Amino acid sequence: MKFQLANAYNVRQAFHVRKTYRVLGRFRCAMAVGQIQTRRWAILGSFLCIGSLLMFRWPSIPSPILNRAVAAEQRAQVANSTPPTVTTSIASPVGTTAMTLNGSIHPHGLPTTYIFEYGPTTAYGSKTPVAELPPRLTAYYHESWDSGTDGWFSREKLEHHGDGGASGGYVRYHSPSRDDFNHLDGIGNVHLTNYFYSGRFNLQGKSLYLGAGDPDLRDARVSLFVRGNNWVPNGSELMWWTQSQSNLEVNLPNDSGFGPGFHHANWAYTGHNITDLLLTGKWEKAEYRLWNDAEKWSYAGNRGEDPHKLPYAYWPIDKAQRHLNLDIIQMLIFVDPKIPPTGSIDYDEIELAYRNYSLLLPSNGGELISSPKAFDKPGTLTDGWRFGKDRAWHSAEDPSQPQEFVYQFKKPVTIDVVQLHQNPEWPAKGVEVLVSTDGQTYSSLVKKVLPETPRPNANFGFTLDRGLSARAGFLKVVIFSGYKSRHWGLGEVEIFGTGATYTPENEVNFVNTDVGDLKRGETYHFRLVATNVAGTTRGEDQTFTVPADEKPYVVTKGVDRVSATSAKLEGRLNPLAQSTQYYFEYGPDKNYGMKSVEAYGGRQYTTRLVFAPVTGLTPGTTYHYRLVAVNKQGTTLGRDAEFTTPKK
């Protein structure tokens, strides 16, 4: 594995060696010419000069020297590198024979792989398949809503306003809207405020095809502006919601609709809500991360006696976020249909940063080796932005010949998908992508005519070609023509496939995976193990106990919105596929003495957020509390926790 990871640096070192040899070649040439005193011998000297340069042209570098140079580079890489920092976190049940294991890894800027080891003792004995940390969060989506609703939808009419937003136009959602009871036996009743299609559902051209229709939102960054107008939440929370499909193969051709037996996994990011920002009546900026920590997510479930009932079916959160191939929703969760939220919500300037798998990204092994002279830097073609000021490329004035960009990959890749994005200001017309294995002979991969004026806006200005399967060491992008004579332009070139080594974000990356075929009631040990070129790090040992029966699984968590007289108590609940009620006990000591109103916790076999507001508290007082859940298999008491109300 170390050799495979280190190989990613070979080509870069080879370029350094090639440059050194060309310098030596020039030096030999200069010596030869400098020794020539007569015109007759000057001709011979010129031939010696040319021969000297040819002798030292790439790829005629002596392989022993190149190998030694590469080995030295690899040794330096290891010497100056840090092994991954690893934390083994907690596990939570998925039914009574499976668990979700959690952890985190800091890769220290290096490609990193990981596994979880688990078993009945600290010898473990079982391990998960080797997984790779995903690439950097350098793919971007931005919507300003200046020109319209622009590919966003709502179950009710989404109202567009041309000005008065945080910056220009914005969209408005009105409440109350229709109830969505599809998740009543999971997370409960919900209201869709607005949403867009991120992936492989393209009915009437609705999808943005982020990441060619397979975006990875693990640990993604989100920012947007919101404003509440006379907003009264009535117990609801505004949260991020995603929907992914685990069996795309059943769908209709060309992503034109869902096929029979489709499986959709709905997850709510309950680790962060933006409800409180709606209460000021002003434009407020919300910024947060979609951490790939299963404890911060709640599986939304479905409705009906059978928790496996289609079309809503469980898919692990790590896979559902890695393949966010359906839609993304701003969702009102925990809506009481008898007392729904009222008012309206305004949205503006949403921005999403997600994992960039393009093979042309420099941190994924792509390198630009030639480009035409132009007004814009060629790096804008691979910066992760589809278009925008200083985020799209255009040629020099009045181009008279094709504009060529040549890229080299650090190691051979297989190209499966090509996605070309338009420059809305200076749109290209004819564009061709060609591939080569040796950098000399190229064959055409795709040849396209890009749309001049995409609808409904520039985010939809792209072409997409899948199922290509082309081996490549080099790639050439050629712009043959434009819709305007003054400049030809292009927004972003995204190339997807296999064979690259991805460099992850140089920060803590959250990871999780499901393990199954466990024995009921048994205690297991587990740990997270991560490897990069600098070494392998084994996380600390942790344990989990598989549920022995279907009594509720509960964890008392923290408190939120604590005031002098009120608080919101939180916990995690797994009904283990039984209809379950829950409540919180609380009071000045461990005898408690009070309890919150009982609520329905669903009948899923996955863990979700539950909470209860409590009022009538005494200022400056310490309270004990715990989560309690009940189903026909029995009652489970959570651990005791405490909080203190502030003095008035």
- Mean pLDDT value across residues 176-195: 95
pLDDT of residue 32: 36
pLDDT of residue 362: 97
CA pair distance 307, 94, nearest whole angstrom: 12
- Residue 67's H or E segment, with its range, is helix 63-79
Whether 395 has a pLDDT exceeding 70, the answer reads yes
Residue 518 and residue 380 share a domain? no
pLDDT of residue 19: 39
- Residue 321's H or E segment, with its range, is helix 317-322
Where does the pLDDT of residue 169 fall: very low under 50, low under 70, confident under 90, or very high at 90 and above? very high
pLDDT tens for 6-31 read 333 343 444 444 434 333 333 333 33
- Mean pLDDT value across residues 72-90: 82
**Closest among 578, 536, 573 to 553, alpha carbons compared:** 573
CA pair distance 212, 631, nearest whole angstrom: 44
Residue 74 and residue 160 share a domain? no
pLDDT tens for 535-568 read 999 999 999 999 999 999 999 999 999 999 999 9
Burial grade of 417 (CB within 10 A; 0-12, 13-18, 19 or more): buried
CA pair distance 26, 542, nearest whole angstrom: 62
CA pair distance 329, 347, nearest whole angstrom: 12
**Closest among 609, 634, 641, 640 to 552, alpha carbons compared:** 634
pLDDT of residue 447: 98
**Closest among 199, 348, 182 to 277, alpha carbons compared:** 348
Number of domains in the chain: 5
Residue 479 and residue 455 share a domain? yes
pLDDT tens for 364-375 read 999 999 999 988
What residues have CB less than 8 Å from 614, skipping those under 6 apart?
Answer: 566, 567, 568, 569, 584, 586, 594, 596
**Closest among 139, 58, 10 to 409, alpha carbons compared:** 10
CA pair distance 378, 400, nearest whole angstrom: 19
Domain of 332, CATH number, reads 2.60.120.260
- Mean pLDDT value across residues 382-396: 95
Residue 412 and residue 446 share a domain? yes
pLDDT of residue 64: 62
CA pair distance 573, 595, nearest whole angstrom: 17
- Residue 628's H or E segment, with its range, is strand 622-631
* CA–centroid distance for 522 within its chain: 34
Domain of 599, CATH number, reads 2.60.40.10
- Residue 360 phi, psi dihedral angles, 5° rounding: -85, -15
CB half-sphere exposure, 49, CA atoms < 13 A: 16
CA pair distance 466, 138, nearest whole angstrom: 22
CA distances from 301 to 183, 184, 310, 335, 577 (A): 5, 8, 10, 15, 11
Q: Which residue, of 310, 327, 354, is where some domain finishes?
A: 354
CA pair distance 128, 518, nearest whole angstrom: 13
- Mean pLDDT value across residues 252-269: 92
Residue 584 and residue 524 share a domain? no
Adjacent-strand bridge partners of 107: none
- Mean pLDDT value across residues 148-172: 95
Per-residue tokens: 289: 């991360």
Residue 583 and residue 468 share a domain? no
Whether 534 has a pLDDT exceeding 70, the answer reads yes
CA pair distance 542, 116, nearest whole angstrom: 11
Instruction: Compute the radius of gyration of the chain from its Cα atoms.
Output: 29
pLDDT tens for 335-353 read 999 999 999 999 999 999 9
Q: Which residue, of 324, 354, 384, is where some domain finishes?
A: 354
Domain limits for position 60: 2-79
pLDDT of residue 70: 53
CA distances from 473 to 184, 212, 285, 360, 366 (A): 52, 21, 44, 11, 10
Contact 105, 511 (CB under 8 A): yes
What residues have CB less than 8 Å from 581, skipping those under 6 apart?
Answer: 598, 599, 600, 601, 629, 630, 631
pLDDT of residue 204: 72
pLDDT tens for 451-485 read 999 999 999 999 999 999 999 999 999 999 999 99
Adjacent-strand bridge partners of 105: 86, 509
- Residue 432's H or E segment, with its range, is strand 430-436
Neighbours of 261 (CB within 10 A): 10
Where does the pLDDT of residue 598 fall: very low under 50, low under 70, confident under 90, or very high at 90 and above? very high
- Residue 609 phi, psi dihedral angles, 5° rounding: -75, 140
Whether 261 has a pLDDT exceeding 60, the answer reads yes
- Mean pLDDT value across residues 212-230: 98
Residue 348 and residue 256 share a domain? yes
* Coil, strand or helix at 500: coil
CA pair distance 226, 278, nearest whole angstrom: 7
Of 30-39, 368-377, 437-446, 553-562, the range with the lowest mean pLDDT is 30-39
pLDDT of residue 79: 66
What pTM does this model have?
A: 0.89
CA pair distance 289, 295, nearest whole angstrom: 14
Sign of CA dihedral 13, 17, 20, 22: negative
pLDDT of residue 608: 98
Residue 222 and residue 119 share a domain? no
Adjacent-strand bridge partners of 476: 406, 434
Residue 157 and residue 125 share a domain? no
Residue 370 and residue 234 share a domain? no
Q: Which residue, of 319, 354, 389, is where some domain finishes?
A: 354
pLDDT tens for 559-582 read 999 999 999 999 999 999 999 999
CA pair distance 171, 178, nearest whole angstrom: 18
**Lookup result for tokens 């998925």:** 94
Residue 36 and residue 164 share a domain? no
Neighbours of 231 (CB within 10 A): 22
Whether 238 has a pLDDT exceeding 80, the answer reads yes
Residue 306 and residue 206 share a domain? yes
The residue type of 585 is E
Contact 228, 348 (CB under 8 A): no
* CA–centroid distance for 11 within its chain: 28
pLDDT of residue 648: 84
Neighbours of 625 (CB within 10 A): 26
